[in-house]
Structure 1
Amino acid sequence: MYRLPRNYELNKEQQMGSFSGRIAIVTGAASGIGECVARTIHALGGTVFLADVNLSKVGVVASELKSRAYPVQLDVRDAHAWQQLFRHAFAIAGVPDILVNAAGVLLKSSIDELNFADWDLTRAVNLDGVLLGSFLFLEQERHRQGVIVNLASTSSMTGEAEWISYCVSKGALLAATRAMSGVAKAAHSRVVALCPGGTDTPMVRLFLENDDTASAEKAWLAPQPLRRFASPQEIADVVVFAASDEASWLNGSMIRVDGGKLA
Structure 2
Amino acid sequence: MSRLNGKIAIITGAGSGLGKAISETFAAEGARVVLTDIDMEAVTKVADAIGANAIALQQDVVEEQRWDEIFSATIDAFGTPHILVNNAGLVIPGTIEDCTLDLFRRHTSIMLDGVFLGCRAAVRAMKANDQPSSIINLSSMAALQGYSPFVAYSAAKGGVRSMTKSVALHCKEQDYPIRCNSLHPAGIDTPMVRQEAVGAGGGETPATGMIKIGDLGHPNDVAALCVYLASDESRFMTAGEYPVDNGVLYKPA
- Common fold, TM-score beyond 0.5? yes
Question: Which of 167, 172, 177 is the aligned partner of 2:159?
Answer: 172
Are 2:147 and 1:160 equivalent residues in the alignment? yes
Asked if 2 retains the 8 angstrom alpha-carbon contact of 1:48 and 1:70, the reply is yes
1:98 corresponds to: 83
Quote the Cα distance in structure 2 between the aligned partners of 1:70 and 1:180.
27
1:53 corresponds to: 38
Decide which structure has greater helix share: 1
Asked if 1 retains the 8 angstrom alpha-carbon contact of 2:39 and 2:58, the reply is yes
Identity, % of aligned positions: 31
2:205 corresponds to: none
RMSD in angstroms over aligned alpha carbons?
Answer: 1.4
SS in 2 for 1:262: helix
Q: Per-residue CA shift, 1:23-58, capped at 9, x if unaligned?
A: 000001000111100000001111000010011101
> Which stretches of structure 1, 4 residues or more, deviate above 3 A after TM superposition?
none
The aligned amino acid for 2:125 is Q
Question: Which of 236, 248, 254 is the aligned partner of 2:241?
Answer: 254
1:127-206 matched pairs, under 5 angstroms: 127-144=112-129, 145-185=132-172, 186=174, 187-206=176-195
Question: Which of 216, 229, 237 is the aligned partner of 1:242?
Answer: 229
Could you state the TM-score of these two structures normalised by the residue count of structure 2?
A: 0.91
The aligned amino acid for 1:42 is A
CA shift at 1:258, angstroms?
0.2
Asked if 2 retains the 8 angstrom alpha-carbon contact of 1:194 and 1:256, the reply is yes
The aligned amino acid for 1:89 is T
CA shift at 1:174, angstroms?
0.4
CA shift at 1:146, angstroms?
1.1
Quote the Cα distance in structure 2 between the aligned partners of 1:70 and 1:172.
30
Question: Which of 217, 221, 225 is the aligned partner of 2:201?
Answer: 217
Asked if 2 retains the 8 angstrom alpha-carbon contact of 1:225 and 1:260, the reply is no
1:38 corresponds to: 23
Quote the Cα distance in structure 2 between the aligned partners of 1:201 and 1:165.
20
Residues 112 and 210 from structure 1, CA distance in 2 versus in 1: closer, same or farther, beyond 3 angstroms? Answer: closer
Asked if 2 retains the 8 angstrom alpha-carbon contact of 1:152 and 1:170, the reply is yes
Asked if 2 retains the 8 angstrom alpha-carbon contact of 1:98 and 1:148, the reply is yes
The aligned amino acid for 1:108 is P
Are 2:89 and 1:89 equivalent residues in the alignment? no
The aligned amino acid for 2:96 is I
CA shift at 1:217, angstroms?
2.6
Asked if 1 retains the 8 angstrom alpha-carbon contact of 2:24 and 2:50, the reply is yes
Aligned length: 238
Quote the Cα distance in structure 2 between the aligned partners of 1:29 and 1:65.
12
